Chain A
Amino acid sequence: MSTERPPLTSFWNDTGRTGITSWIFSTDHKRIGLLYFFTTFGFFLVGVMLGLVLRIELMAPGRTIMGPTTYNAVFTVHGVVMIFLFILPGLPGAFGNLVMPIQVGARDVAFPRLNLLSWWLYVSGAAIVLTSLFTGGGPPDTGWTFYVPFSARTGTNVTLALFGVFIIGFSAILTGLNFITTIHRLRAPGMTWGRLPLFVWSIYATAWVQILATPILAITLVLVMAERLLGTGLFDPAKGGDPLMFQHMFWIYSHPAVYIMILPAMGVISDIIPVFSRKPIFGYKMIAFSSLAIAAAGSLVWGHHMFVSGMSDTAVLVFSFLTFIVAIPSAIKVFNWVSTLYKGSISLEAPMLFALSFILLFSIGGLSGLILGAAATDVHVHDTHFVVGHFHYVMFGGAGFAFFGAMHFWLPKFFGRRYAEKPAVVAWALMFIGFNVLYFTMQVLGMKGMPRRYYDYLPEFATLNLVSTIGSWILACGLVIMLVNLFRGLLKGEPVDSNPWGGASLEWTIPTPPPTENFVEEPVVTHGPYDFTRAGEA
């Protein structure tokens, strides 16, 4: 193991500026990406703690460590932190910023100062959300969905939390328009649309969803704040309003938002699998197209969250049908990934293991989503632990595992050092096992009828709940090993060269760690991102 520092040519030191201000006021997309990475990942760990606490409460029937009020607050904060502070800004903010500009052959994003503003808005919003936990009437207890009429009436600090989320929405919009402009305007000579890495395509589709959906969330949150502060009554039946309209407007944003979470994850997987199969991606055009198709179709299916809300039967039928349509582009991706593996020279290193487990976990999550998408079956499992299990399979098993995969795949490029392989595989195995024990059990519990969002349950659910909680501990052990190994490696591990995995996209052609302007000379792209016969050349 070498102890030499990275050469004085990387973005860590080549600007000559040091100290905290050279980071928090930097307009370099790589520094902003790392800022996003550490803040979002920090919140992920907070969310994990809260999740573990929830599982301890549910370990045995009755009150274990907290009462119902605390439980409501903890699951609300767990959801708000994980969704709005980690997974929505996480992959686009961290890896979109770190990798996407290099992959298109640009020196930076189109609007570097706006990019910095996005991060500041995100951090300010997060600070406001955190403040809401400790001031006023205490942490919100509405669930992350903020449903009226409860969210309009509860005495907890909902208004401030909504305001924080509103600010974070601004940040997402600015990131989205920045990325779209970057991909349209700053591609290097020769970087045609057909040569874009699939991660870029997925970030592109994500950015459109961020731009088109987030404003609806913003106005909905403003209306709930107005409801609480002014008594506007637009969602209050006593004043002529309709709470169902809140649900519509909330899900018009929040369903597309799950594609903000999963699309970049699919992009990560599409980039990892061909590299570790030593084979060009199968069906490049279809994967790129299916990202856009998911973004488009996913914007029309919000009503499937509302099958039991009292919406008309016609609407239920239409939304159910549209929901099944989303399964098609998702399946296209899965089949193309599997076809890429076929007769490939597969190398099972940590990023690949995360990618392969993504395919399995996402498929389980996606297929259980069809059970929820069909109105007839949804009525039975609605608001049970089946939904919780499904959601975590897609969001954690999907987006979360892809995030871990991206950490192992790309972070060594930016730190110039890598983690040790064996502990990484052990950590992955523990997390994979723990994950399935934790969440598959939840799906079974849901099928048996255990509702979600209660701190207590009937005695017949006790055994499975204990199993599920034990799963959460296995998962946590794996997570700790992964963190220690990864960060220890990034700081002190073996140095890596410019192309440790043998990738063929542009980020593997530049020095490790990259210099501030990314490219020593402007690249002229002559081949596609998965043309491994020419790996390492522009």
Chain B
Amino acid sequence: MSHPESKDYFGAKLGMWLFLFTELLLFGGLFLLYAVYLRRYPQEFAAAGKQLNWVMGTANTVILLTSSLFAAMAVSAVQRDELRRTVLLILGTILCAAGFMVIKYFEWSAKIGHGIYPGSEHLKAGSPGESVFFSLYFMTTGIHGLHVLIGGALLAWIALKVKGGSVTANDFVLLENGALYWHLVDLIWIFIFPLYYLVL
């Protein structure tokens, strides 16, 4: 049997999309809990949601949307074989990811400083709805933050591959899949942001 080592781009992207579905479903479980508990504790959720800092949330939304733009531009750049620009754009994405995590850090420390964290005395003393809200908030944003870190690391590795010359205009499905993953991280935040910061 002859061995033409042709890469199946469509197949590689199909695999990535299937993986993204599983990520959506993972967060789907958390959104399901949000829906059920929101219906059970509407007032407590509203009161607790007001305690979140919407300025920081908005800043992070803008940062993530910008990072996704950079990621999409990096894919366009690699298609035109502008490898230097590709690396710079990926670094822009990673920088945004870092900015997101820094803001998240300040947001979390402010909450923890006020005694609001899973299992805290403050939450135990408060209403059960508030405790559930903040537990969900920390779990959801925590797992999302983990995805930001993983996505950032993934893109950094791909940037090295671009620099090393194994991702080029002829073979860029790795970068495209990395960018797809990054858009997913962005997309999930687009759901988290209104649910926790805005609608309550």
**Interface residue from B2, B11, B25, B129 paired with A215 (Cβ < 8 Å):** B25
Determine whether A184 belongs to the interface, using a CB cutoff of 8 Å to chain B: yes
Show the binding face of A for B, using Cβ within 8 Å.
107, 110-111, 114, 173, 176-178, 180-181, 184-186, 211-212, 214-216, 218-220, 222-223, 226, 230-234, 239-242, 245, 249, 517, 519-522
Smallest CB-CB separation from B18: which chain A residue? A177
**Is B131 an interface residue, CB under 8 A from the partner?**
yes
- Give 7 nearest A-B pairs by CB, closest first: A240-B128, A231-B119, A219-B29, A215-B25, A177-B18, A185-B11, A215-B26
Contact with A along B158-196 (1 / 0, CB 8 A): 000000000000000000000000000000000000000
Whether B119 and A233, one on each chain, are in contact in the complex, defined by CB atoms closer than 8 angstroms, is yes
Complex contact B29–A242 (CB within 8 A): no
14 further A-B pairs in the complex, CB-CB below 8 A; given A215-B29, A226-B118: A114-B15, A176-B18, A178-B15, A184-B14, A186-B8, A186-B11, A212-B21, A214-B22, A233-B135, A234-B33, A242-B37, A242-B40, A249-B33, A521-B1
Given known pairs A177-B19, A181-B14, A234-B136, the reply for A522 and B1 (CB within 8 Å) is yes
Structural contact, B18 and A232, CB atoms closer than 8 A: no
User: Separation in Å of the B23 CB from the closest CB of chain A?
Assistant: 7
A111 to B22 CA separation, bound complex (whole angstroms): 17
**What are 13 A-B contacts with C-beta separation under 8 Å?**
A110-B8, A114-B15, A181-B15, A181-B18, A184-B14, A186-B8, A212-B21, A215-B25, A216-B25, A233-B132, A234-B139, A240-B127, A517-B1
- Whether A185 and B25, one on each chain, are in contact in the complex, defined by CB atoms closer than 8 angstroms, is no
Complexed CA–CA distance, A184 and B11 (Å) = 8
| Chain B 2-23 near chain A by CB (<8 Å), digits 1 or 0 | 1100001011101100110111
Identify which of A107, A184, A186, A216 contacts B29 (C-beta below 8 A): A216
Given contacts A173-B22, A226-B118, contact A185 B10 (CB under 8 A): yes
* Chain B 138-164: CB-based contact to A (< 8 A → 1; otherwise 0): 110001000000000000000000000
Is the CB–CB distance between A517 and B3 below 8 Å?
A: yes
A-B contact count (CB 8 A): 110
Interface residues of B (CB under 8 A from A): 1-3, 8, 10-12, 14-15, 18-19, 21-23, 25-30, 32-33, 36-37, 40-41, 118-119, 123-124, 127-132, 135-136, 138-139, 143
B28–A215 CB distance below 8 A: yes
A348 to B45, CA, bound (A): 65
Whether A223 lies near B36 (C-beta < 8 A) is: no
The answer to whether A249 and B36 touch (CB under 8 A), given A231-B119, A232-B135, is no
Closest residue on chain A to residue B17 by CB atoms:
A177
Q: B18 contacts A211, CB within 8 Å? A: yes
Residue pair A111, B15 in contact (C-beta under 8 Å)? yes
Complex: chain B residue closest to A177, CB-CB: B18
Partner of B11, one of A110, A222, A226: A110
Q: Which residue of B lies closest to A518 (CB)?
A: B1
Residue with the highest number of chain B CB atoms closer than 10 Å, among A212, A214, A239, A242: A239
Residue with the highest number of chain A CB atoms closer than 10 Å, among B1, B40, B41, B127: B1
Residue among A176, A234, A522 with the most chain B CB within 10 A? A234
B42 to chain A, nearest CB (A): 13
Q: Looking at B29, B128, B136, which has the most chain A CB atoms within 10 Å of its CB?
A: B29
B149 to chain A, nearest CB (A): 16
Q: Are the CB atoms of B11 and A181 closer together than 8 Å?
A: yes
Distance, CA A220 to CA B27, complexed state (A): 11
Pick the contact of B139 from A211, A223, A245 — CB < 8 Å? A223
Q: Which residue of A lies closest to B142 (CB)?
A: A226
Say how far B140's CB is from chain A's closest CB, in angstroms. Answer: 10
Asked if A232 and B138 sit within 8 Å, CB to CB, the answer is yes
Nearest-neighbor residue (CB-CB) of A519 within chain B: B1
| Minimum Cβ distance to chain A for residue B67 (Å) | 24
Closest residue of B by beta carbon distance from A214: B22
Which residues of the other chain, A, contact B32 by a CB distance below 8 angstroms? 249
A215 and B10 alpha carbons, distance in the complex (Å): 24
Q: Give Cα A178 to B32, complex, Å.
A: 28
Q: Which residue of B lies closest to A212 (CB)?
A: B25
Known contacts A111-B15, A233-B119, A521-B1; A220 and B29 CB within 8 A of each other: yes
* A240 lies within 8 A of B41 (CB): yes
A178 to B129, CA, bound (A): 42
In contact, A173 and B119 (Cβ under 8 angstroms): no
Residues of B within 8 A of A111 (CB): 12, 15
**Chain A, residue nearest B14 (CB):** A181
* B21 → chain A closest CB, angstroms: 6
